[in-house]
Amino acid sequence: MKISYTPKEIMTIMAAREIKNGDIVFSGTGISMLAAMAAKKINAPDSVIFFETGAMDSLLEEIPFAVADPRIMYWAAANSSLTDAFATMQNRITGDRVIAILGAAQIDPYGNLNTTCIGDYYSPDVRFSGSGGGCGVASFVPRCIAFMQHEKRKFVNKLDYLTSPGQLTGNGSREAAGLRPGGVSVVVTNLGVMRFDKDTGKMYLDQYYPGTTPEKILENTQFHMDVSQAFQAVPPTENELKILRDNCDPQRLILGPVA
């Protein structure tokens, strides 16, 4: 029997699979929060979810809609502050255990992110919320998952504004700028999963979802991407989907309508 799932469901599961047991997961809201919750219930029971606002290991009885949602303050190990939360990531002892989940309006071939504006900075066509925690997280954390809709206008050659650093211009430029290794290490979209070449720092296609092809993904990407190593992703299993649907978001507040 063919298992059916929505794009949001496969994205959530693919991201959850990136989280390892014992990871400290920096979570935003929406689908990234759901991926963190799913990982904890499926493959990484000892992972710890934390938020830039300062809550560590909250008991998420309800899905929070913001990183300042009072739902993250309940039954946490500690409720602290912004300076504490970012210190946890900048701290070399705890920071190396953190995996972060970020989103963006634009991403470039080197995993740099734009969450600031489209068009001219001073007089933008569209202004977005800005860095928030994003720049700090991408500066400090060794592994980051970026959630993106796979569209040509979002996978661009050059960002309108570089808010959060990835590999900068590749070939070791991140480290040359003074940053530790890290930044976006995997990109999860509605079409596939991308990673970055260790030497050049350039994005390549790692997995494409059933029902799509590397060619289709390239059609939705402004820049050239190596697809020679790509393989078809293992779709979400019945068990993964059951836990996601029944135990993580039973009201489908984030998952939205069923397939």
Partner 1 sequence: MNNDTDKTMPLAEAVTRFVKTGAHISIGGFTLNRNPMAAVYEIIRQKITGLHLYAHSNGTGLDELVGAGCISRLEIAYGGNGKAAPTCIRFARAIQNNEIQFEDYSNYMMSLRFMAGAMGVPFLPTLSGLGSDMLTTWGFSESMRLSDPKIVDRKLAVVDNPFGNWGGAKKVVAVPAINPDVTIIHVQKADHMGTCRIQGLTFADVEQAKASRHVIVTCEQLVEKAVLRENPDMNQIPFIHVSAVCHVPFGGYPTAVYGHYDYDAQYLKQFAAAARDEAAFTAYQDRFIFGVDSHGQFLEQVGKDRLEAVAADPRTGYSVNMKRD
For 86-99, b/e burial (b = at least 16 CB within 10 A) is bebbeeeeebebbb
Q: CB of 69: closest distance to partner 1 in angstroms?
A: 7
Per the annotation, the verdict on 175 as an active-site residue is: no
Q: Is 72 helix (H, G, I), strand (E, B) or coil?
A: helix
Pick from 22, 62, 231, 258: which binds partner 1 (CB under 8 A)? 62
- Amino acid at position 9, single letter: E
Pick from 66, 142, 149, 223: which binds partner 1 (CB under 8 A)? 66
Structure tokens at 171: 């070939």
Pick from 6, 43, 80, 149: which binds partner 1 (CB under 8 A)? 80
- Catalytic residue, from 52, 215, 219, 240: name it: 52
Q: Is 54 in the site for partner 1 (CB under 8 A)?
A: yes
Structure tokens at 185: 């290490």
Pick from 20, 41, 57, 73: which binds partner 1 (CB under 8 A)? 73
| Cβ atoms within 10 Å, residue 174 | 24
Q: Facing residues of 226 across strands?
A: 204
Q: CB of 231: closest distance to partner 1 in angstroms?
A: 32
First to last CA, the chain: 16
Of the ranges 39-47, 68-76, 197-205, 241-249, which one interacts with partner 1 (CB under 8 A)?
68-76
Q: Is 69 in the site for partner 1 (CB under 8 A)?
A: yes
Which residues are known catalytic residues?
Answer: 52
